[in-house]
Chain A
Amino acid sequence: MENLNLPTKNTWCPGCGNFPLLKSLKKAIVEIEKEGKKRENFVLVGGIGCHGKITDYININSFSGLHGRAVSLAEGIKIANPNLDVICCSGDGDSYNEGMAHLIHTAKRNTNITVIIHDNHNFALTVKQYTSTSPKGFKGSSTPEGSIETPINPLELMIASGATFVARGYSSKTEHLADLIKKGIKHKGFSFIEVLQPCVTWYNTLEKYNKSVYEIETEKGISKNRALTLASKWDYNSEKRIPIGIFYQEIKKSFEEEAFSRDGVKEKVEMRKLLKDYA
């Protein structure tokens, strides 16, 4: 795993949930490499927010994009070169707030990329504002009296949108998370991994998650309805117990596989021939 490190200075807060998340990601990559995948065929995409710094902390191909657009950037890379394993790290502010449309549509298309959401339930890099997954009553710098909005449940949303691999992990459970990431990368289709990532500085959920998180094993061929019921067990707002693991998985042709199957039959461009259609 050492050769995945870079000498870059890490600027995450001490104790940040991103550290174990990065560790899990590296572990997953190393394990997939052992199975014969080449290092140069991984691309890590990042968005904007604390999570986005991850591209500077790992020695693989990477592209850190605009706020909210990481998923689109990743999708473009995959379409251009389907041989690449594209992993897209994004945040709750990044992809649930700013870039929600891209997340939904890429899930709908089932493009074969792996999206990992570092969900710390707040805009941390801009100093604590509420996001789509902040609980009601969240006291942030823009909601001193507490947010009046109820959070969305990203797992329900992704299952409904057509994602073919939907999972939730917890950054502190690195082995479990590494396994989810590995399975997500190997899944052929849109893989969505929501990661509960405590923000120790602005919204420390570490203790809460340590207490309430439990692992689940879903049966193969789980129905969408059953997966939705599982996903609704915790609504991001209550103090209920929080299941982690794979919630839904389905085998379906990926977007780029279906859309660009004509690949490789590229005819030579001959202007006179082309212009015949216009005569």
Chain B
Amino acid sequence: MKEHSILIGGSAGDGSKKAGLIIAKLLSSYGYQIYIHEDYQSVIRGGHNFSLIRASNEKVLTHRDEIDLLIAFNEDTIKRHTKRLKDKDMVIYNSDAFEFDRGNGFPIETIAKNIGGLLIMKNTALVGAFAKTVGIDWNTLKKVLISELKVATDKNLLVAKEAYKTAQAKMKIPKLSSYKRPLISGNSAIVLGSLKAGLDSYFAYPMTPATSILNCMAQKGVKYGVKVFQPENEIAVANAAIGAAFAGSRVMIGTSGGGFALMNEALSFAAQAEIPLVVVNVSRSGPSTGLPTYGGQSDLFHVLSAGHGDFDRFVVAPGDPEEAFYLTQLTMDIAWRYQIPSIILSDKDLAECTYSFDLDSLEKYTPGKLSLWDRKGEYKRFKITKDGVSPIAFPGEKGAVVKATSYEHDEFGIAIEDEKTTKLMQDKRSRKFRSLEKEISKIKAVKVYGNKKSKTAIIAWGSVKGAAIEFAKEKNIKMIQPLIMSPFPEKQIKRALLGVSRIITVETNNRGQLAQLLRYYGIESKSVLKYTGRLFTTKELISKIKI
């Protein structure tokens, strides 16, 4: 594997994230596959933020601990990260801010000032110095800067040029090809997937790390007619979405664990009223406010059991943007065809890290057929059918009186309290889920990587898959990833585990939630857990799991 890891860090407000993205785009222009790991604190100014860019000739879904180059806006970044350096002299830093005895310092603030630019342009200067240091040609840099810096582009170019002239080539990042892939985050992939699936409305209340879905919808979704609505709280979000879906709008809502908790009652309502409610829960480190800008997979049990009363839900857990794109389409389709609450369980690292996205390798999703009312006879919103799914009609349709309710109800949607109808309706709703289980058994709900014949397997889900795959490859073992969490693909997991005698479940939560879920299905595994808000790296897995 040909690869390069570059860490750029500073305090909030330095613009290190933007500089990191430009660096990633430069390397992407050189044909590399990218993964950017983002680490930031819940502050607007100050603190320590960094982006770790890994560029490789192969697909990468995780970062490495070691780095080839450190780019520092401040001394704090040096103190925190020099130990990661393979070559301790490979440092580029802001010599206006501090003195350092190794690497190359650039007076980036002075450069920005002399050109007559804003102080923030120091990040452009640092990018210029970087490009020269690793041997990226000026034209490539210029092109990327023009497309990335739409404001004061000319000044930025002058600043970059000045720093570029001053710097010297220290290492060579060779050009692989001219094939440049788009760089997207897990959240963007969910946006794209939902647009592909014909999204009509997106409702949300801001909450990290789900907020960028709302922002992206407001910026891009509206062009495609998406109604973006930010109500007063998550309870309003969920209930308004149920109303919108009832009126025929393909709606999606998004939040993180705390907001999802507020939506619990509505989730149960959606199940009772048979409303296709699609919820994105981008989990972060809890309990409670926890570490608001850090990750974790602590919401698996939460999404599987959220909402009072007995009801089933569809739950997917993508591990990379391609899966997020595909599974969002699947979820919207399933939610509408089965008229059930459906959840896309993402996590902070998938949501906010950036990945090369290969459109050509994407699996094409073909949605199924929606059961619509045939306009014959009296309309029954909750008509009893063999598979449990009642044909759908929306208010506004001539000849149909569409009635739904949070109460237990009869076929017309009128509240009832008798035992017979209660059982009939409970059975009808579970029959839908049995039908869904059958459908899910025919699609790929579990992925297998690495040495498929190995007697040792690790099981990982969500964003942990990146490190787990690399670990499995390095140790020549099998890696299994469930993509659908409900209905749980028991048979597919058991098939993947045939011949396996040792199972290790790797998760970023404290209780080993997937391991407990597997135990429910009779699968015993050893848990390897991390619950510090940070992702596993391959190196950590190597040190924690002896093969």
Binding site for B on A (CB under 8 A): 6, 8, 38, 40-41, 43, 45, 48, 53, 55-56, 59-66, 69, 72-81, 83-84, 101-102, 104-105, 259-260, 262-267, 269, 271-272, 274-279
For the complex with contacts A63-B404, A102-B236, A269-B198, 5 further pairs of A-B residues with Cβ separation under 8 Å are: A59-B401, A76-B203, A79-B227, A80-B249, A272-B359
Residue in A78, A101, A276 whose CB lies within 8 Å of B233:
A101
Which A residues are in CB contact (< 8 Å) with B223?
267
Residue in A80, A262, A278 whose CB lies within 8 Å of B200:
A80
Which A residues are in CB contact (< 8 Å) with B222?
262
Of B244, B249, B398, the most chain A CB neighbours within 10 A belong to: B244
Cα–Cα, bound, A48→B225 (Å): 34
> Which are the 9 A-B pairs with shortest beta-carbon distances?
A76-B243, A266-B225, A76-B240, A80-B249, A278-B182, A80-B247, A72-B239, A80-B244, A61-B395
Which B residues are in CB contact (< 8 Å) with A55?
403, 405
Which A residues are in CB contact (< 8 Å) with B403?
55, 61-63
Contacts A55-B403, A63-B404 hold; do A77 and B232 have CB atoms under 8 A apart?
no
Cα–Cα, bound, A6→B225 (Å): 38
Cα–Cα, bound, A276→B147 (Å): 11
The answer, yes or no, to whether B106 is at the interface (CB within 8 Å) is no
Binds A, one of B265-273, B345-353, B488-496: B265-273
Query: Shortest CB–CB separation between residue B280 and chain A, in angstroms?
Result: 17
Which A residues are in CB contact (< 8 Å) with B357?
275, 278
Contacts A41-B395, A43-B395, A259-B229 hold; do A105 and B236 have CB atoms under 8 A apart?
yes
Give 28 pairs: A residue, B residue, CB < 8 Å, sorted on A: A6-B414, A8-B414, A40-B396, A40-B398, A40-B401, A55-B405, A61-B396, A62-B413, A66-B406, A69-B236, A73-B240, A76-B203, A76-B239, A76-B240, A76-B247, A79-B201, A80-B201, A80-B245, A83-B396, A101-B232, A102-B232, A259-B229, A262-B225, A265-B225, A269-B198, A271-B196, A275-B359, A278-B184
Contacts A64-B415, A66-B265, A275-B182 hold; do A73 and B239 have CB atoms under 8 A apart?
yes
Of A64, A260, A277, A278, the most chain B CB neighbours within 10 A belong to: A278
Are the CB atoms of A81 and B180 closer together than 8 Å?
no
Which A residues are in CB contact (< 8 Å) with B184?
275, 278
Are the CB atoms of A79 and B182 closer together than 8 Å?
no
Cα–Cα, bound, A259→B195 (Å): 19
Interface residues of B in 166-191 (CB under 8 A from A): 180-184, 188
Residue in B183, B242, B395 whose CB lies within 8 Å of A73:
B242
Interface residues of B in 301-337 (CB under 8 A from A): none
Cα–Cα, bound, A59→B245 (Å): 21
Binding site for A on B (CB under 8 A): 28, 180-184, 188, 192, 195-196, 198, 200-201, 203, 220, 222-225, 227, 229, 231-233, 235-236, 239-249, 251, 265-266, 269, 273, 357, 359, 394-407, 413-415
Are the CB atoms of B231 and A75 closer together than 8 Å?
yes
Which B residues are in CB contact (< 8 Å) with A274?
192, 195, 220
Residue in A40, A260, A264 whose CB lies within 8 Å of B400:
A40
Which A residues are in CB contact (< 8 Å) with B395?
40-41, 43, 61, 77, 81, 84
Are the CB atoms of A267 and B249 closer together than 8 Å?
no
Of B224, B245, B273, B406, the most chain A CB neighbours within 10 A belong to: B406
Cα–Cα, bound, A66→B406 (Å): 6
Cα–Cα, bound, A275→B401 (Å): 42
Contacts A53-B415, A77-B244, A275-B357 hold; do A38 and B236 have CB atoms under 8 A apart?
no
Which residue of B is nearest A83, CB measured? B396
Which A residues are in CB contact (< 8 Å) with B404?
62-64
Number of A-B contacts defined by CB within 8 Å: 176
Query: Shortest CB–CB separation between residue B253 and chain A, in angstroms?
Result: 10
Cα–Cα, bound, A276→B183 (Å): 10
Are the CB atoms of A63 and B405 closer together than 8 Å?
yes
Which B residues are in CB contact (< 8 Å) with A69?
235-236, 239, 266
Which B residues are in CB contact (< 8 Å) with A80?
200-201, 227, 243-249, 251
Are the CB atoms of A278 and B188 closer together than 8 Å?
yes
Residue in A41, A43, A72, A267 whose CB lies within 8 Å of B235:
A72
Cα–Cα, bound, A62→B273 (Å): 12
Which B residues are in CB contact (< 8 Å) with A48?
406
Residue in B180, B220, B225 whose CB lies within 8 Å of A263:
B225
Contacts A105-B232, A266-B224 hold; do A65 and B239 have CB atoms under 8 A apart?
yes
Which A residues are in CB contact (< 8 Å) with B232?
101-102, 104-105
Which residue of B is nearest A75, CB measured? B240
Which B residues are in CB contact (< 8 Å) with A79?
201, 227, 229, 240, 243-244, 249
Which residue of A is nearest B216, CB measured? A277
Which A residues are in CB contact (< 8 Å) with B183?
278-279
Which residue of A is nearest B249, CB measured? A80
Cα–Cα, bound, A264→B251 (Å): 17
Residue in B200, B225, B401 whose CB lies within 8 Å of A61:
B401
Which A residues are in CB contact (< 8 Å) with B231?
72, 75, 102, 105
Cα–Cα, bound, A260→B200 (Å): 11
Cα–Cα, bound, A63→B404 (Å): 5
Which residue of A is nearest B180, CB measured? A279
Cα–Cα, bound, A74→B251 (Å): 15
Are the CB atoms of B242 and A76 closer together than 8 Å?
yes
Which residue of B is nearest A68, CB measured? B235
Cα–Cα, bound, A80→B402 (Å): 15
Which A residues are in CB contact (< 8 Å) with B200?
80
Which B residues are in CB contact (< 8 Å) with A259?
227, 229
Contacts A80-B248, A277-B220, A278-B182 hold; do A72 and B240 have CB atoms under 8 A apart?
yes
Query: Shortest CB–CB separation between residue B326 and chain A, in angstroms?
Result: 12
Contacts A79-B201, A80-B201, A84-B395 hold; do A60 and B240 have CB atoms under 8 A apart?
no
Of B232, B357, B394, B403, the most chain A CB neighbours within 10 A belong to: B403
Cα–Cα, bound, A78→B357 (Å): 37
Of A48, A65, A267, the most chain B CB neighbours within 10 A belong to: A65
Are the CB atoms of B224 and A267 closer together than 8 Å?
yes
Query: Shortest CB–CB separation between residue A246 and chain B, in angstroms?
Result: 26
Which residue of A is nearest B203, CB measured? A76
Which A residues are in CB contact (< 8 Å) with B236?
69, 72, 75, 101-102, 105
